[in-house]
Amino acid sequence: MSVVASDQDQLDAALDRRLARVGRRSARWRRFTLEAGIALIALVIVASIVGEFVYPNPNAQDLAQALLPPSLAHPFGTDNLGRDVLARTLAGTWIDLGVALGATYLALVLGVVCGTVAGYFRGWPERIIMRFVEVVLALPFMVLVIAIVAIMGPGITGVFVGLTIGGWGFYARLARAEMLVLNEKSFVHAAQTLGYSHWRVMWRHAIPNLIRPSLVYSMSDIVLNITWVASLSYLGLGVQPPTPEWGSIIADGQSYLLNAWWISTLPGLVVVIVGIGFSLVGDGLADRLRARRAVVR
């Protein structure tokens, strides 16, 4: 509080004006953010579709062509077995994006449902669910995922399950917090007084109103999960050779980093592009949703 209330108010008003100005400027940039993000992701996906046709067999070896630097024939060069790095990178898109998206959204659905149930019913369902959440969130993510992969055995399934189990807790916590707020809203009471079932109140009335923060968060979660899939494969815990996958391609190229830099670097660049793409979509989406919320007052 400053001098007199009225001075404080004037300060607030000035601040509001400035924020509004900044807001307007960045609104234009934000619009661009969402579209730029979508464009980057689309670029990689389209390229991978095209790749299916251009390189029907990404694992085709040609030892005579080993370790060639990038050229028109091999834009990303070739690896030590003479395989085209671009072909393998594009083929890996499906595995990396698929596992990352799948694990993220399975975690989101699981987390949002559990969190909503916990926040809606309170009492013992909440205590049980949130106890699990605490356990999941208390363990370091990496340790948890690696432990699960170790139990399930290396491979895509292990990575998928590991990322899902490691990831749902945060969504549950987010959804529960939002549900606690909605519990106070009279449209939730209204739905209850109209005799709708608990399931319906949660599914139709609460979840559409609480899922936005989770959706926004899921965008950055996808980025993390893509790097996790790649990292786990890099460590030899994920996708097994010779299946093309970004992490394993990068890992394979590692020993040739000094004399054939392209094997690791160029696929790494693709990972970065996809990561930036999802981050931009996340930012843009967050702002869009916030703007919509503001309209709703």
Partner 1 sequence: MATEERLLSVRGLSKAFQLRGRVSRRLVALDDVSLDVRTHEIVGVVGESGSGKSTLAKCLVRLVEPDAGTVEFHARDVLSLRGRELARARRQMQMVYQDPYSSLNPLMSVGAAIAEPARVHGLVRRGAEGEHVREALDVVGLNAALAARRPRELSGGQRQRVAIARAMAVRPELLLADEAVSALDVSIQAQILNLFASLRDEHGVAIVFIAHNLSVVAHIADRVNVMYLGAIVETGPTKEVFAAPGHPYTAALLDAQPGRHRRRTADRPVLRGEIPSPLNIPTGCRFRTRCPLAQDVCAEQAPPVVDLGGGRTARCHFASRHIEQSLSSR
Partner 2 sequence: MTGATVIPAPPNAAVEQVPLVRVNGLTIGFPAANGTALAVRDVAFEALRGETLGIVGESGCGKSLSLRALLGIVPQPGEVLGGEIAWDGEVDLLRDERRLRSMRGREISMIFQDPLESLNPVFSIGDQLTEVLRLRAGLARSTARLRAVELLERVGIPSAATRLRSYPHELSGGMRQRVMIAIAIACGPELLIADEPTTALDVTIQDQILGLLVELQQETGLTVLLVSHDLGVIAQMADRIAVMYAGRVVETGTVDEVLLTPRHPYTAGLIASAPGGTAALAGSRLQSIGGSPPAISELPPGCAFAPRCRYATDSCTEVPMRLDRGPGEHASACPVVDADHEQGRDDGD
In the complex, the smallest distance separating the C-beta of residue 119 from partner 2, rounded to whole angstroms, is 10
Among 4, 153, 186, 258, which residue interacts with partner 2 (rule: CB under 8 A)?
A: 186
Pair 201, 191: CB distance under 8 Å: yes
In the complex, the smallest distance separating the C-beta of residue 37 from partner 2, rounded to whole angstroms, is 24
**The dihedral formed by the CA atoms of 121, 125, 127 and 132, expressed in degrees to the nearest 10:** -130
Q: CA Rg, the chain, in Å? A: 24
**Of 6-14, 63-71, 79-87, 146-154, which part binds partner 1 (CB under 8 A)?**
6-14
Taking the mean position of all CA atoms in its chain, how far away is CA 19?
Answer: 30
3-state secondary structure of 84: strand
Q: Which two three-digit tokens encode residue 273?
A: 């592009």
1 binds partner 1 (CB under 8 A): yes
Span between the terminal Cα atoms of the chain, in Å: 26
Pair 267, 273: CB distance under 8 Å: no
Q: Which two three-digit tokens encode residue 194?
A: 């109209």
138 binds partner 1 (CB under 8 A): no
Nearer to partner 2, 153 or 208 (CB): 208
Per-residue binder mask for partner 2 (CB under 8 A), 203-222, x = binder: -xx--xx-------------
In the complex, the smallest distance separating the C-beta of residue 201 from partner 2, rounded to whole angstroms, is 10
Cα 45 to Cα 9: distance, rounded to the nearest angstrom:
51
Per-residue binder mask for partner 2 (CB under 8 A), 117-156, x = binder: -----xx---------------------------------
Query: What does the binding site for partner 2 look like in residue numbers (CB under 8 A)?
Result: 122-123, 183-187, 189-196, 200, 204-205, 208-209, 295-297
